[in-house]
Amino acid sequence: MTPSPDHPGEAMPQFKMHATGVEGVTEGTERMEVSMGPHHPSTHGVFRMDVELEGETITKLKPVFGYLHRNHEKIAESTSYLGSMPYTDRLDYFNSMTNNWAYALSVEKLAGIEVPERAEYIRVITAELTRLQNHVSLIGFLVQDMGALGTPLMYAFRERERILDLFESLSGARMMCNFMRFGGCRCDVSADWIKQAQSVVEAFPQFLDEFEALISENEVLMARSQHVGILKPELAIDAGVAGPVLRATGVNYDLRKVDGYGIYDRFQFRVPLGDHGDVYDRYMIRVLEMRESVKILQQALAEIPNGDYVNPKAKLRGFRPPPGEAYGRIEAPKGELGFYLISDGSPKPYRYRVRPPSLINLTILEDMCLGQTIADAVIILGSIDIVLGEVDR
C-alpha cells in the first residue's frame, strides 16, 4: 500500500506488475482480480467467475458454483424409484422430457423392462421437440449476451412457446412435465396432438431460414464469435466434453448414432460437425442440429404406429428391481446425460448418480477463455449452454 495523493493519511491499493506469458498480454500492465457474479437465476443460473486480468486480457479464470445445490442424488437414495422421476425435471429445467428419458432408460436397463414401439416413437418426438426449444433459446440468449437486445430472443421464445404449448397439452405442464414412466410414457398422444405437432414442425424450417438471415452473417456476431473461445478436439475428448460443444470441434460423436438407443437407428439424419471449435461453430452447430431434428420429427410423426404407450407388465407400485447396476445415457440437448444406478433389491436405489453435461462441459471454460478479453468470457460461457440446476445437483 502507498499513500494516497488526495488523502496523504490514507493508503491506496497497489497493483502488482508482472508478465504472465499469456499471448496478447503486455508486460507491465496492471493485474486485477474481478469477481463476475453471482448472477441472477434468469441468466445462466446463480454462478460466479473469478477472473484474473492483465489489462482486459484473461490470465486465469475459476468457475465458482454451489449456490443452488439441492442434494438431488441423496434425496433420490431415500425415495422410491418412481418418486425420483419428478426430481429429474428440475435438473436441466429447460429439458425435462430428456431428463425423464435418461432416468427411465437407466431403470429399464436395471429391471429389464421392455418399451412398446409406440412409446419409443413418443419419446423420440418429445425429445427432438425438446432439442428444438433448447437450441433456439440458447441462440437467443447468446445473441443477447453480445448486445442484441430484444428481437432475436423474442423470435426464439415465440417458437419455444409453440413447443411448450404442445408439452402442456400432453403432460399438463409447460416445463416440469414428469411425463416418462418405466416402460413407456404417462399418457398417450392423440391424433389431434399429432396434427398440432406436425403443424409446428412443418413451420419450423421457415422460421430457421428467417432467423439465420437475421443473425448468421451479421457483422457484429461474426466479429465477436469467430476465432473466439477456441476449443481443441484433443482437449475436448480428454475433458469428457460432449454434445454440440464437442461436435463443434469436429469430433463425430452423437449418442443417437453411437448407441442407437430407443429407435434412432430407424431415422435418417446427419451429425453436423464444426471446423474451428470457436463460438461461431458452436452457434452454427445448434442451427444445423435443429434442421436435423426437424427431419427426425417429420419421419417419426409420419410413422408412429398404434399400440400401447406403456408396457402393461411394468409395475409402478412396489417396484423393486433385482440387485445389480446399470448406466443409461442419452444425447440430451446439452450433451451426454447419464444416470448410474445400483440396486440392492429394495424399493430405493442403493446408489444414484447423475452424469450432467452442463457440469462436464463447464470444466473447460478457463481453457477457452485464457488470452481472451473479459467481454469475450461472457459469450464463451453462453456458447457452452449450461443450466445450474444440472451443475448444482
Which has the closest alpha carbon to 286: 77, 69, 107, 141? Answer: 141
C-alpha to C-alpha distance for 336 and 240, rounded to whole angstroms: 9
Which has the closest alpha carbon to 289: 271, 312, 265? Answer: 271
Provide the percentage of residues in the chain whose pLDDT is more than 70: 91
Polymer length in residues for the chain: 393
What pTM does this model have?
0.88
The angle formed by the CA atoms of residues 351, 357 and 358, to the nearest 5 degrees, is 110
- Grid coordinates representing 115 are 418399451
Mean pLDDT of all residues in 151-171: 91
Position 10 pLDDT exceeds 60: no
Look at residue 314 in the predicted model and tell me its pLDDT.
84
When mean pLDDT is compared across 123-137, 296-310, 363-377, the lowest value belongs to: 363-377
- State which amino acid sits at residue 216: S
Give the strand order in the sheet containing 31-36: 31-36, 48-54, 57-64
CB 56 within 8 A of CB 49: no
Which has the closest alpha carbon to 123: 175, 81, 182, 80? Answer: 182
Which has the closest alpha carbon to 57: 91, 96, 90, 26? Answer: 26
Look at residue 190 in the predicted model and tell me its pLDDT.
94
Mean pLDDT of all residues in 366-393: 89
Look at residue 297 in the predicted model and tell me its pLDDT.
97
Query: Which tens digit of pLDDT belongs to each residue from 25-74?
Result: 455 557 888 888 787 555 666 888 888 988 888 899 998 888 878 889 99
When mean pLDDT is compared across 21-35, 131-145, 201-215, the lowest value belongs to: 21-35
